[in-house]
Structure 1
């Protein structure tokens, strides 16, 4: 696989999001297939593996650690800290210096490694100055526990404040054909500062693959049942966008998901999507998208088929949106 640069960090042009192997999207009882998927990713040249302490919680880091044992030198290992959960499943954030140090040490132990290649602040704590959080993060770099630092779902101002304390290597935020709000201010800020962009949910949490035809397809405990775009009120409107993309994909001989990934790859050489999957079949399809080239005319048609004005529903319900990008 080709490589791209996140700041000074070289990674594969596409990474693997590991969250769904342990949380969020239905049943998570096949660690054997999940580990085989990670091994297959490494065999295909995928180097960037993405996890976080809250995935599971904690179990995903342990799973990734087991999978990379004996293959650590093939991996650019990314994990995160900073999300905390309150009563009623309300998402919050914590970024005090003591918590930064604690979370890093705990993640290192769960992953079974002596350093983390890319350590993200998962959400900005509105009650702790970024200067305190990033001062603690820079100490982790000085101590050799972390190589590079990133930030997730941050505003342009927060990115600048963090970068003033210690170079930000990567921003991880949601970006796909149906989530494009970071393009106006945040992407230009990252490019001004030389920060790479790691889009999560580049397939719209699976919606853009065309595999879902009804909200009833989702398991009862699936996170997506709580998301407005998957609600009964919005599902069919969003499905119409996918069907328009399917027509274009059929013309090109690819899947709708591959077309959506190829579009994201075309956004720039500093963009490294991390589509998630726990199955080797879908991994192979996603990796194949890195070899698809789109013409300017095709990009125009894709964007016309999926205009931002046609997307129905917010990204998150209020309980999850409170700690999303401010």
Structure 2
């Protein structure tokens, strides 16, 4: 019997980490997850949902713990998904964002290199569309691709750009198999409540059930290329199965505004006009905002055979249905 492939996932408690762990387990992988802290509040739920997952304590800011995690898991594939991943939070905590989201990538790469696994472990680095920043838009109507210019507009985007470039540098300098997925916005039922899409669907469900009166949001006009996280995580895996390390944009190729998301979400619960339920709060507005992010996934579609399956209306419906079930459970327990 062939040896099971082993994968180490950083950011295992996040949206993408959860989706990826489940998908890899279904593919027959032995899955390890890096988790922060002895008393991580998400640990119990994660272990209950994924009993086959092996958790290793560690932190991207602690190189020694990363070396230990690589030695313990001895991974064929390493998916670096851990980051300070909220754009608004990065403005308030730019130093921590740099330490985790930028330098943390270097620490991961070094952990693989110094343990002698630089030629045996394939590494996926989670890059982001926020590196483009919405400026220097050199392909109007066509979307950003792998050759578009970068101009990040937040500490998060800047930190991610460092991670992207250091990953490429290790690929070129040491011949390591390091691939970067430049992912545009991807959402789903595992999304954290601090992110605008989940904040909306969670709020809509609670408004429908009479558990809250309104939703507080920032700007409503920005447009994003929104897809389903489950589809994008499958793309991560495909990126590491490619013969050569490379960079790939994963996106849907279409944009929708926050107002459009609100319209569909409220319509799912039978409310035609969302305006009486939404309050715009200046504290939720960012010092610099990205107007529009549109991706061009044609390379991933052509080279990897990847394509999103869940469209925008289905994404919103899926998230609202999940949050309605959750809100009903919470109401029953109250």
TM over 0.5: no
TM range (shorter): 0.3 to 0.5
TM-score, normalised to structure 1, is 0.34
- Greater Cα radius of gyration, structure 1 or 2: 2
TM-score, normalised to structure 2, is 0.34
